[in-house]
Structures are given as C-alpha cells and as structure tokens.
C-alpha cells in the first residue's frame, strides 16, 4: 500500500486545525476517495465520527491525538509520518447493528462502534426484559438503562458504568446495567460476540426509553435488537508500541 497518499481530517478545535495546515503543507493533501489512508487529527470523538463517515470506503484510519483523552489515537508527532504509517499495526473492528422499534412500530437501524445504550426518558426508572438469542434471561430489570459494549468500547461509557474491560481478542460483548435498582446486585454479563441481544421495554408508554448507537438516538422505543455485523470491518492503524490491544490490557491495571 502506498502510504504517501494521505488524506488529513481534523476536528474543529483550533489546535487540530493548526496541525492540519502544517501536515498538509509538509505531506500534501489528497481527497479521501483517492487516498490510501486517512489520518485523523483530534480526539476519540473525531475518530468515531471518521469511522462512521467513511465506513463504506474500507480505508485504514490512523489517528493522532489532538483532543483530550485520545484513547483511540496515536501520539501526535509530525516527523517521519510516512515511516510511522508503514510500520503501523492494523486492528480490525466489527460494529454492532442496532434495530430499534419505536412506539409507533417504525423500524430504525444504526451502527455502533463503542456501544448501544438504552436510557430512561422520564423521572421513572425503566423496566426492561432481556433476551439472548430469543431466550429470556431476565424477565425484568428496573434501572436507569442498559448497554451492550464492544471490546473497543468497553473502556468508554461501559467502564464508567462499572462494566468489565474486554481484551480485543476475547470475542466477547459486555452487557452492563446502568444504575440497576432490581435486581440490585446484578452486575451484568459477558456474552459471546456471535449472540443476538434483545431488550423489550415494559410499559413503554408509561416508562419511555431511548436507544442510542454511538451518535444516533431513537426516542420512545419498545424493542431493540443488537448483534455484531461481521460483514463490516473497520481498520484502525496503531504504532507498534501503542497498539489498541495493549492499551485495553493496560487499562485493566490502572489504579
């Protein structure tokens, strides 16, 4: 692959835009369609946006941190960029496909790289039934919400909700409750990535619930089905010493 054909994309923040100008001047500017690789300058939010926007092109994406957290990004360095790209390690991710049915029986579909989450819309707690491969596992969870997270997303919202961190090669998904009231001690489950998870909202008119797949939110849903879409591969590039799998592993040993 010719890594000299780089398309640069940057977040709107001033620091990222200044970096964009310098890198374009130094390495040239090619439009996304003709590039061999996309270099994203920003934080994790920009990386997710870039992955979603250019998913259909199948081009590898290399991120450099010009944001706050930058868990999905490489260190920002302007020197020897082509050499870094040539030596980068590729990580392939498969997104989750969410199919949501709203209270008017309309179907909505969206893809999630990090997680699909359900959350109550009112002052009342949500009541949700959980099925795995059409088999009922919990008849009722009373909670603020529930989520299904990918390994790549397990260190994001899932971790904030006290869900488990999942190594990339584990082929697992995290099913994590958000402020579960009943059953009070239930901490969620680890599921094989090949399963289909279904959430059915109990009393959806009285206890409204929304469903969100990364950036796409559907309001007033009554059922959500979530499964990993193996037909779609997202290719992220990382410096060998800071690859995504190592970062997820190291995150488990943070004090």
- Active site amino acids: 44
C-alpha dihedral (104, 208, 212, 70), degrees to nearest 10? 160
Spatial neighbors of 248 by CB under 8 A, at least 6 apart, are 151, 152, 154, 155, 165, 166, 167, 168
């Amino acid at each position: 692959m010719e890594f000299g054909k780089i398309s640069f994309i940057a977040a709107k923040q001033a620091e990222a835009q200044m970096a964009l100008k310098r890198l374009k001047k130094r390495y040239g500017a090619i439009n996304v369609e003709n590039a061999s690789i996309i270099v994203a300058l920003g934080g994790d939010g920009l990386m997710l946006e870039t992955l979603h926007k250019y998913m259909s092109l199948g081009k590898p994406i290399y991120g450099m941190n010009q944001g706050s957290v930058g868990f999905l990004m490489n260190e920002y360095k302007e020197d020897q960029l082509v050499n870094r790209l040539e030596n980068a390690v590729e990580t392939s991710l498969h997104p989750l496909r969410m199919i949501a049915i709203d209270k008017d029986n309309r179907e909505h579909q969206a893809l999630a790289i990090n997680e699909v989450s359900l959350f109550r819309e009112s002052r009342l707690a949500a009541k949700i039934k959980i099925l795995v491969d059409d088999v009922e596992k919990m008849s009722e969870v009373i909670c603020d919400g529930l989520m299904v997270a990918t390994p790549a997303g397990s260190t994001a919202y899932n971790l904030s909700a006290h869900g488990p961190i999942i190594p990339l090669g584990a082929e697992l998904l995290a099913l994590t409750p958000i402020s579960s009231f009943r059953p009070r001690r239930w901490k969620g489950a680890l599921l094989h990535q090949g399963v289909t998870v279904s959430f059915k909202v109990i009393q959806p008119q009285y206890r409204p619930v929304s469903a969100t797949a990364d950036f796409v939110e559907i309001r007033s849903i009554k059922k959500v089905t979530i499964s990993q879409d193996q037909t779609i591969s997202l290719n992220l590039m990382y410096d060998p010493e800071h690859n995504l799998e190592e970062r997820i592993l190291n995150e488990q040993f943070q004090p």
